[in-house]
Amino acid sequence: MNKKEIAEIKKQYTQERCPISRICGCYVDGEKNKKTQFREAFLSLPEEEFFKYLNIFRKAISGTIGKNLLNMEFPLETEKENGTQATLMKLKYSGLQDDGVLEEFYDKIIETYEYTGNYLILLMYAVYDIPGKASDNQEMFDASDEVYEHIMCCICPVNLAKPCLSYNEKENCFSSRTQDWLVEMPLIGFLFPAFHDRSADIHSLLYYNQKPEMPCGDFVDNVLGCTLPLTAGSQKETFQALVEETLGEDCDYETVRTIHENLNEMIEEQKEEPAPLVLGRQEVKRLFEQSGVAEEKMSQFDERFEEAAGEQTSFVAENVANTRKFEIKTKDVIVQVNPARSDLVETTVIDGRKCLVIALTDEVEVNGILVK
């Protein structure tokens, strides 16, 4: 799913448009015991509860694609009978009304998901009547010929509120507030099936992780049956290692700067597109070549790429580039430059010592003091 497709679904989760018809959940304690289960008609909920649930569902499709929102495809074997994708299809087809399927799904999560503390497994079922679009891209609500039937699962921590004093209006005094168990925003969740090209794609889903560097691999493997891509941090580390290994002794300031300048230009050119810029092996190879990496260094690029990243690995460009700052760092000095003006910093040799030279074109301040 791209930004545009996610936004289309997200804007349905409002009181006026709400496509959600049913929610259900299972409350699990820190010992993996089921404390309670429930199923509710969503539109019959009290207004205050209604909006709190909507906030949770909206949160589970919020974030940055390639970081905490990941598109995942199902391996073919998961779509066979008793496969993980087949289980999700049963949940969807039943409209969350098959107790046996729900119980099996809850048990799988409880068995797999490692979390210290209480949590709520929250599921919702929704049907979005997809409006047609005119030639000017305006929605035609009376021209729908397809519905997007989907489920969402959120796993929300349930924590005891912090003790505090509160004002008791009835008694007109301050007293210790009763500590309640509070449902917090989801740590992980997923939307199934994915919404691609304004249609349901049962072969993929959208996965949400509040903490992308803690990807919950066991949950993804056993409950979803999908393969986790590299985290944003791992992508950056792998890309940096690939640059260093490819350039070897030629890994100098000018070449690295050129690679990052070219990468930032590619991101800028793509920024209006709904899908993020993704770099596979061929795109990275072209980037290096355009950045002046010597031909003899590129002769072993394919082999080095496979060693560092794996043949099928791809990088989300914004995960490996820094479009906000250009940083040069030594043990004792850190220099940060506007990426658009990295040309102001050069390397040179002065009295036999390798030095950074910064062209001073504007006023200079030292700890807030203007110097001459």
Q: What are the residue ranges spanned by the domains of the chain?
A: 3-224, 230-322, 324-372
pLDDT of residue 140: 64
Q: Which pLDDT does position 135 carry in this prediction?
A: 62
Q: Tell me the two tokens of residue 182.
A: 């509070």
Identify the helix (H) or strand (E) that includes residue 355.
strand 353-358
SS3 197: coil
Q: What are phi and psi of 225, to 5 degrees?
A: 75, 20
- Distance CA(57)–CA(189), nearest Å, equals 9
Q: What letter would DSSP give residue 343?
A: G
Which is it for the CA torsion 52, 7, 21, 188, positive or negative? Answer: negative
pTM as predicted:
0.85
Q: How far apart are CA 346 and CA 265, in angstroms?
A: 20
Q: What distance in Å separates the CA atoms of residue 69 and residue 75, rounded to the nearest whole number?
A: 19
Cβ contacts of 311 within 8 Å, gap of 6 or more: 281, 305
pLDDT for position 136? 63
How confident is the model at residue 370, as a pLDDT?
A: 86
With H, G, I as helix, E, B as strand and everything else as coil, classify residue 178. coil
Q: Do residues 34 and 26 touch, judged by C-beta distance below 8 A?
A: yes
Amino acid letter, residue 310: G
> pLDDT below 50 — which residues of the chain?
none
Q: What is the pLDDT of residue 342?
A: 84
Is the sign of the CA dihedral 283, 289, 293, 299 positive or negative?
positive
CA 277 to chain centre: 14
Q: Please identify which residue in the block is written with the tokens 């979005």.
A: 128
Distance between CA 164 and CA 21 in Å, rounded? 37
Three-state SS string over 37-56 comes to EEEEEHHHCCHHHHHHHHHH
Question: What pLDDT sits at residue 212?
Answer: 87
| Residue 20: alpha-carbon gap to chain centroid | 23
* pLDDT score, position 302: 86
Question: In the prediction, which pLDDT does 139 show?
Answer: 65
Element (H, E) at 237: helix 232-247
